[in-house]
């Protein structure tokens, strides 16, 4: 399924009033992991209150021990500090990579902004080397923007 075909489904999930926000995020994870063959782990991390750390939110894929990630550590922790997308074509080439699984070859992390503040991120691991393109980045930015709208409309 193409990214364009997935966009209305993401919007539908995030506007489903019968689901809690956590359930909506979990459904988005399931949608992406199911329809994009090289998305092998899809999850969200959010700023943990006033602490300089991220806390694992809904995800789909292998269980992870990384439920709390300090800012600056790993790819997710670096995105929490830089506020920039981070595409890693080869995780073995990264000095500051936190390995979740030996099968992971690549990772992409896109921040979620609400009112200009980085409040979290979507994190995707792939068991395929160098699978992510600019199209993935643009699509995941769209997903993050839709999540930001959902948060803003309900706060």
Instruction: For the chain, give every domain's residue range.
Output: 3-153
Q: Report pTM.
A: 0.95
Residues forming beta bridges with residue 122, ordered by sequence position: 44, 110
Residues 6+ apart with CB under 8 A from 87: 107, 108, 132, 136, 137
Asked whether the predicted pLDDT for residue 67 surpasses 90, the reply is yes
pLDDT tens profile 16-63: 999 999 999 999 999 999 999 999 999 999 999 999 999 999 999 999
CA 91 to CA 93: how far, in whole Å?
A: 5
CA 54 to CA 119: how far, in whole Å?
A: 9
Cβ atoms of 38 and 126 closer than 8 Å = yes
Confirm or reject CATH 3.30.450.40 for domain 3-153, answering yes or no. Answer: yes
């Amino acid at each position: 399924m193409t990214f364009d075909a997935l966009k209305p489904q993401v919007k539908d999930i995030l506007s489903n009033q019968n689901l809690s926000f956590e359930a909506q995020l979990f459904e988005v994870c399931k949608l992406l992991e199911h329809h994009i063959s090289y998305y092998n782990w899809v999850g969200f991390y959010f700023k943990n209150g006033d602490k300089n750390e991220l806390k694992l939110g809904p995800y789909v894929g292998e269980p992870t021990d990384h439920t709390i990630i300090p800012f600056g550590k790993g790819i997710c922790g670096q995105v929490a500090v830089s506020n920039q997308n981070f595409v890693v074509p080869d995780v073995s080439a990264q000095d500051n990579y936190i390995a979740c699984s030996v099968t992971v070859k690549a990772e992409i992390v896109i921040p979620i902004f609400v009112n200009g503040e980085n409040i979290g991120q979507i994190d995707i691991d792939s068991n395929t080397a160098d699978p992510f393109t600019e199209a993935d980045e643009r699509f995941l930015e769209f997903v993050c923007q839709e999540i930001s709208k959902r948060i803003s409309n309900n706060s």
